[in-house]
């Protein structure tokens, strides 16, 4: 997969304009720590619980940690929502909450966050594999114990601000 990179921004603030760099293979982008975008979705049910996904034990980055319902690199030529729609289990109405940055040993991303209210009974069983709903207290405990990706931590924070 090839993804768009952006010229390095050390102190990115929400709304800071990004200037396109090269289009490169995803592995090279990660190996070089280049700035790129990812799209994230949180599915929230009527009880306010958030559907989180458990990353596999074999993942190179953030193995075995809980993360956003959907998280994926923004595909070339697409925006956050267009990229998410390719990974959603069905047509969903979403609301854009904003952007946040993840910059650590594994990622250097500007992340766009969408949220949708959706009932678990309407989500296909195959989509629910490796996913479960967390109430706020359990999610906060997982965050404090380091059992979540920075993406889920920041997405939860942004959701709480809205």
CATH code for the domain of 107: 3.90.79.10
In sequence order, the β-bridge partners of residue 54 are: 66
What length is written for the chain? 162
pTM of the full structure: 0.94
Region 65-76: what's the mean pLDDT? 96
The residue range of the domain holding 41 is 2-161
**What domain count does the chain have?**
1
Q: Identify the pLDDT of residue 120.
A: 64
Cα 58 to Cα 116: distance, rounded to the nearest angstrom: 29
User: For the residues 132-147, what does the mean pLDDT come to?
Assistant: 96
């Amino acid at each position: 997969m090839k993804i768009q990179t952006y010229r390095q921004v050390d102190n990115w603030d929400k709304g800071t304009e990004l200037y396109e760099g090269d289009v490169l293979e995803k592995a090279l982008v990660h190996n070089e720590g280049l700035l790129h975008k990812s799209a994230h979705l949180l599915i929230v049910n009527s009880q306010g619980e958030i559907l989180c996904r458990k990353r596999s034990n074999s993942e190179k980055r953030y193995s075995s940690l809980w993360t956003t319902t959907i998280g994926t690199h923004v595909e070339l030529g697409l925006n956050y929502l267009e990229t998410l729609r390719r990974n959603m289990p069905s047509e969903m109405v979403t609301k854009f909450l904003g952007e946040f940055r993840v910059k650590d040993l594994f990622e250097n991303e500007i992340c766009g966050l969408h949220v949708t209210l959706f009932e678990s009974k309407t989500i296909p069983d195959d989509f629910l594999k490796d996913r479960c709903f967390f109430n706020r207290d359990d999610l906060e405990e997982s965050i404090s114990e380091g059992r979540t990706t920075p993406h889920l931590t920041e997405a939860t924070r942004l959701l709480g601000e809205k």
